[in-house]
Structure 1
Amino acid sequence: MSGGFLKIKKHKEPSEAKPKLDPWLIGIIDDEPSMHDVTKLALSRITIFDRPLKFVSAYSAHEGYELIERHPEMALVLLDVVMETDDAGLCLVKRIREELSNKFIQIILRTGQPGFAPEEQVMVDYEINAYKTKSELTRSKLFTALATGIRSYRQITALEKSRQGLRAIIEASSSLIQERSVYDFASGVLDQISALFELNTESIFCVSQRPHNGPSAISARQSDEYFVVAASEKYQPLFGKPISAIGQTGLSDAPIDIVKQVLQKKQHIFSEQYSCLYLSTPSQWEGVIIAERAEKLKQVDQELLQVFCMNVAIGLENAKFFNYLNKAAYYDEVTGLFSRAGFIDNARTFYRSHGDELCLYLLDVDYFHNIIESLGYDFGNKILKRIARHLMASYGEDVVLARLHSDVFALLLPHSNIKAQEVAMRSSIPFNIDDHAIRLGMTVGAAKLEEGESIDEFDPSLLLRHAEIALKVAKENRRGSGELFDSNYERNSRHRMSLLSDIRQAIDSKELYLVMQPKVNSADLSIMGYEALLRWEHELQGNIPPDAFIPAVEKSGLYYDVDLYVAQATCDLINQNKQLSHPISINLSANSLNHETFVEDLHNVFIRNQVPLNRVELEITENALIHSETAIRELDRLAAYGFTICLDDFGAGYSSLGYLLRLPLHTIKIDRAFVSHLEGNQKAQVVLEGIINMGQKLGKEMIVEGVETQAQLVLVREMGVEHIQGFYFFKPMKIEQILELQSQYKL
């Protein structure tokens, strides 16, 4: 089999002894104990990349957070989406990436509730490897997902270790270059090797020819034999002597043999006992560093040692290699632009020379991931290079350009004369690459320096964060647009997070309550039912409008909890106020219908509270059903239980007459938009009357909402609609007002 294929195999006893490798640490976070058992059974005695697996378990998102916090070395986690809450797994993903700043662990989301959260959206919004339903993860597919994740983890951690190693080498080399003698330099090299690679072993540094600046014991030597110019404690007797003298000191001859092999092959040798490093300098010195070690070096450490040796070999004589390492740490390999670290470092210098009028633009290539999926990473890299050249040509040399990550570029200009939207338009140009005509869109977020900010106060990282917030707002508003950072964005973000936390608390403390708006019979204007509407009386902020907290409920995934909360509150109203004589309509989120157990849970609320199903009506918004086949199927199940279903806001947006035939509807509520333009608008009257007639011929009860004037009332009554709702009759009321109203109407 080709070496490029992944090896996943059952464990078996090796034919010969091999060093044992640490296992991959795999986390299982799931509130179903059986999932832990099944997963461990399926993956038992499996090795991936010649390393076994070790499992650790947590049974809630809270436990999972603590588990990953204790084990930052965890390679991969199999994470359930729905645990304590419907979005517990998704929230944990964000906490892992943001609070723990763990960018290395690979995450496979598993759910037993297909369709609860759209796979495409989850893959875009969250840094995960895969999003799978539990039923589709067969043993072989689980192997594949796990192996792919571990491969990614291995590559990412190796890359990060290389980056850290390069940075450490730069710092170490900077220190070594300051040394003026071979003795000091060589001693420093041994110290740095021991510190950088945690060898803590005995070592020797020997070179060919006489070092010019060594101690007097060395300077008198004229031979071209290899002399020890630095040594650890064990080999101190060899200091200043030729390497051939090792045998005369009572030490083993093994170092002599391995030195001969290194010089003959002119390459490094890593044996069971020694790491032997070959050096060749511009001045034609040859050198060898021998380090004893107790265990085999990891591949990445061997590679870093080789890089370090290259720096050692030419460090004193050629500063270019140091500059190369510096470039590896501060420049993007693909485009040649600054990396994020390079951008931050150079932004300070740019500020000093250009003053406080700077403006930072972040450019995000729209839908770049689609290009990668279709045409591959090599083609994607060609696009990134072309964008870099275009930006350099468009904005000249007096800028700071960087590729921060993936498809996001940073452009720091000495002024803020160009609007973010203009930058987006300038950058959205056609390219022709490998006979592919590509027109890329750009979304831009911009940020300017705070007024009066001094050089000591200037923080490039903060400027980046502000631009990133603006970029996020621009992407949420419209791809291809541009936004300039406003402090309100940050406040709004914090407010949304605070509001979300308060909503959870409000559910627990029952700060949310119901008001009801009566619905009337068009013939005699008698009350024939109520619509329950959710309100929030915050203990500190007072009344919070529904349009301020309902969208937060939908985005946070709390819709399931809120819908069941409303159902329970409705049951409480009915049971505590027996004089309520008409059905109550409650609004449902279509997202709740995507929850696996919602239909049963909702039904159980009414059964548990002994509330007959004919006392309630379920309203669901038409727009919410358009893209959810699951929601439509669940409505059929609700109707089968005996619930009355009302299609709310009919005609608002994406009306589809086909849904009137497919859905188990009893009532159709026509959106208020048709009523608001009714007076003096013959076309609006024709459309509304047509909708009413069509619904009635289909056997549906029709209700018009949003009636606010006498003229509107007259018109809709003439059209023959059965029921009406609106401020002309009643505004939403608390239960006490409803009961008083009923007594006045003698209902």
Structure 2
Amino acid sequence: MTDSEAHKDDELVFLDEHESGPAIEAPRKSWRVLIVDDDPDVHSTTELALRNTLILNRPLSFLHAYSASQTRELLANEGDIAVILLDVVMENEDAGLRLVKNIREDFGMSETRIILRTGQPGYAPEIDAIRDYDINDYKTKSELTRNKLYTTLTAAIRSFDQIRAITTSRRGLDLIVHASAELMALHGMRNFAAGVITQIAGLLGLRPEGLVCAQDAMDEESPESGPTIIAAAGRHTALINQPLSSIADATLREGLLRCMRERQNIYDEAGTLLFFPSQASARGDMAAFLETDDRLDETDRRLLEVFCANIAVGFDNAALFSRLHAFAYYDQLSRLPNRTHFINQIDRRLANPDHAGFVLGLVDIDHFAETNDALGHLFGDRLLQEVATRLKQSLGSQVTVARVAGDTFGLLGPAERMSPSILIALFQEPFRVDGQDLMVSATCGLLNLADSNTSGAEALKDTNIALKRAKQRSRGEVSFFTRAMGIEIQERVMLLQALRHAFDNERLFLVYQPQVDLATRRVVGLEALIRWRAENGAFIAPDRFIPLAEHSGLIVNIGEWVLRVACHQQAWLARMGFGHVRMAINVSVSQFRHPKFPFVLRRAIEDSGADPACIELEITESMAMEEADFLLLTLNKLKENGITVAVDDFGTGFSSLSYLQRLSVDRLKIDRAFVNEITDSQRGSQIPEMVIQLGHRLGLSIIAEGVEDAAQAQRLQELGCHEAQGYHFARPMEIGPLLEWLQNR
């Protein structure tokens, strides 16, 4: 190339040359270029040079501003500008540089590329300008030849397009994340599907006009079946729950079928069709239609592809959520609401002003465990299903029926539908299970919601108290909750807590009541009795706290403590000269059943140095009979150490003579209830006399408790009773006063 030719190519005034690129049909959009310069010739020559030029297959369109202030006014109303060709010197020497800051900071145009042009080379050093200002390129006007201007603009527009694509994708992904979160908060497949339409429209900046259809996975092979519209928005709303064939627009109808058949998204002039595959949903594959005014560009399509992949999982998650909701709130065996759901319904009813007219009930199947064990769990499950069906059908839709526990059903309904007579009548007819007629009874606890101003959980707890009270009275009973029941339960709980605290803080202690030989009035034994002195000095009766200790299991620890203390006191009394006096210690059923009991007893005797022959265990008659086989094995081991065994409260149960013989007990203890009546009449002494004669025939010693006066002692002696204890001889005493009493005798 000659120098003249090169110079000609560098001139700023350009000719309309063909080198700008091949002629291509103009696409829909153009790149917007803003020229900012106070010289009108620069505007005209720049636009002339780039006329009919395509960059990245799109034409250019130009905006013009002749000063910094005019540029600010223009930018306040115009957007989507790809490149700004900006003159450095306009109103003043650094007007262009100041304008850069306005463009970036005030107008937030971070994607737009800024090419700074100056006609005064060296006025604003390139390095300083690029370092201090967000400028993408810096050129002198003399070096911007036609080819270089084209190259510079191409690079700037390519950069703008890439940055905008990244920004749009990032913004779109943020919208997708937000849309997904919004959708996951929707419960149920239909709500989720409706939300998909709304979120896609929001993603694309469109009005929500569209629908979602789904093919039932169970019927998709059936030729007569077809997809169903499960959600719709805008002018398509009337199509909800209709078959796809009901869509009048044949193009739309065929498009949806094609979308599901080809399992891919379809973009055309009619709108956008999106495919959502399903892996786990009870619904099969789904397709959505959204009205789009224009063909979507590549960026929009990429976002929709990501959205569809994400939401396809969301559809399955919505179906999974529906199943989890069923597991969380419904009993899978009976298909009734479970305890959690039932409590929520009680809460809603309590929040209603008319709740006073409603009754809450618990129905417990009597002896269900025995039926389950005898006939099998499958039979038991079917029985529960039959009970659930009868409750729902008989009580009607006004009554909510739930399964709140294994064999316990909850009821909530108007008082007139929840009367005891109605509930009892439900179990007057047999239940048909596996071809068998089975009579079943039920025990019920009821609560008038007028008596409950708390929560559903508290109301259900009070109803359970009524149920337990009914069970205590008799199976098949119905009991209403009363305030007195609640107070009693609260007192029991508080008393149990106080008992634990008293035991931990050594507020329990032992007293000892002497046992005497009726013939000689000589002291032959002591019964260790537990006492509880509260912190205020008052005594709590044993018949109040011992049952609580047994029910809670605390009796095992308390019993071990009693054993150790009583054994130590027997050894101490022996050292004081009373080695012949035996120590009687009461043992509870829970304590005796404990596998470590023999070891605990042996260790207590060994650690204390007590004489095993002077240690006597007292067990109740009911315990001796109910636990006879177990006691036989355990007592034989214990008696090998030399201890003796007495049966307490004898005569209050139904003893078997064979068990008494096999157990090898040493002593029978006549209950105080019979001793109290022994002098009232001839009939009053019959049971003590029978017990004494029985003991004689079995070779057992007989001791009577609760002897209050000399007449009772005399009558017992006449009947042949060997020993006695009671206030007539001595009251229970602590160890210090006891020793003094023994020494005085």
Into which bin does the TM-score normalised by the smaller protein fall?
Answer: 0.5 to 0.7
Deviation by residue 1:134-170 (Cα, 9 ceiling, x = unmatched)? xxxxxxxxxxxxxxxxxxxxxxxxxxxxxxxx99652
| Uncovered stretches (5+) of structure 2, i.e. residues with no partner | 1-182, 210-227, 236-248, 291-303
Inter-CA distance 243–486: structure 2 relative to 1 (3 Å threshold)? same
AA paired with 2:528?
A: A
CA-to-aligned-CA distance 1:587-625 (integer Å, 9 cap, x gap): 122332322222122122121122222333222222112
Q: Work out whether residues 227 and 242 of structure 1, in 8 Å CA contact, stay in contact via their aligned partners in 2.
A: no
1:275-290 paired onto structure 2 within 5 Å: 278-279=285-286
Identity of aligned residues (%): 28
Matched with 1:600 is 599
* Distance across 1 between alignment mates of 2:324 and 2:568: 70
1:325–1:186 Cα change, 3 Å: farther
- Indicate conservation of the 8 Å contact 1:359/1:449, yes or no: yes
- The residue type equivalent to 1:611 in the other structure is A
Which residue identity lines up with residue 551 of structure 2 in the other structure? K
Q: Secondary structure at the match of 2:655?
A: coil
Q: 1:244 to 1:693 in 2, by over 3 A?
A: same
Question: Are 1:277 and 1:306, in contact at CA under 8 Å, matched by a contact in 2?
Answer: no
Q: Distance in 1 between matches of 2:380 and 2:485?
A: 32
Q: 1:659 to 1:302 in 2, by over 3 A?
A: farther
Distance 1:212 1:413 in 2: 39
Structure 2 equivalent of residue 720 of structure 1: 720
* Matching of residues 268-667 of structure 1 within 5 Å: 268=278, 278-279=285-286, 304=317, 339-340=338-339, 343=342, 348=348, 352=352, 354=354, 356-375=356-375, 379-380=379-380, 382-388=382-388, 390-391=390-391, 394-395=394-395, 397-415=397-415, 420=420, 422=421, 424-433=423-432, 434-450=434-450, 459-540=455-536, 542-577=538-573, 578-579=575-576, 581=578, 582-628=581-627, 629-667=629-667
SS in 2 for 1:641: coil
In the aligned structure 2, how far is the partner of 1:740 from the partner of 1:503? Answer: 31
Judge conservation of contact 2:702–2:723 (CA < 8 Å) in 1: yes
Aligned 8 A contact 1:432 1:438 in 2: yes
Asked if 1:704 corresponds to 2:731, the answer is no
Q: Secondary structure at the match of 1:579?
A: helix
The match for 1:78 is none
Query: What's the offset of the Cα at 1:224?
Result: 5.4
Give 1:440 deviation, angstroms.
1.3
Distance 1:651 1:424, change over 3 A: farther
**Cα contact 2:431–2:440 (8 A) shared by 1:** no
- Note closer, same or farther for the CA distance 1:185–1:671 as it changes in structure 2 (3 Å cut): farther
Q: Which residue of 1 aligns with 2:669?
A: 669
Partner of 1:315: none
Question: Does the aligned pair in 2 maintain the 1:416–1:448 contact within 8 Å?
Answer: no
3-state secondary structure, aligned to 1:689 = helix
Q: Is the 8 A contact 2:192 2:315 kept in 1?
A: no
Q: CA deviation at 1:531?
A: 1.0
Report the AA paired with residue 465 of structure 2: I
Residues paired across the two proteins, number:
507
Pick closer, same or farther for the CA change 1:679–1:631 going to 2, 3 Å: same
The answer as to whether partners of 2:357 and 2:415 remain within 8 angstroms in 1 is: yes
Give the structure with higher Rg (CA).
Answer: 2
SS at match of 1:584: strand
Contact 2:556 2:590 in 1 (8 A): yes
Match in the other structure for 1:76: none
Which residue of structure 2 aligns with residue 94 of structure 1? none
Could you say if the C-alpha distance between residues 369 and 288 of structure 1 is closer, same or farther in structure 2, counting changes exceeding 3 Å? farther
Partners in 2 of 1:444 and 1:385 — Cα distance?
18
Distance 1:598 1:223, change over 3 A: closer
User: Match of 1:517, SS?
Assistant: strand
Indicate how the Cα distance of structure 1 residues 228 and 704 shifts in structure 2: closer, same or farther if over 3 A, else same: same
Distance in 2 (CA, whole Å) between partners of 1:179 and 1:592 is 65
Match for 1:170 among 187, 201, 218? 187
Letter in 2 for 1:579: M
Once residues 327 and 590 of structure 1 are traced to their aligned partners in structure 2, the CA distance between those partners, rounded to angstroms, is 44
Write the distance in 2 (CA, Å) between the matches of 1:543 and 1:606: 30
Give 5+ residue unaligned stretches, structure 1: 1-165, 190-206, 230-234, 247-254, 271-275, 312-323
Q: Is the 8 A contact 1:590 1:631 kept in 2?
A: no
Letter in 1 for 2:481: F
* Cα drift, residue 354 of structure 1: 4.1
Displacement of 1:350 in angstroms is 8.9
Q: Is the 8 A contact 1:225 1:242 kept in 2?
A: no
Mean Cα deviation higher: 476-485 or 373-382:
373-382
Q: Distance in 2 between matches of 1:302 and 1:664?
A: 74
Q: How many Å separate the matches in 2 of 1:640 and 1:516?
A: 26
Query: What displacement does 1:550 show?
Result: 0.9
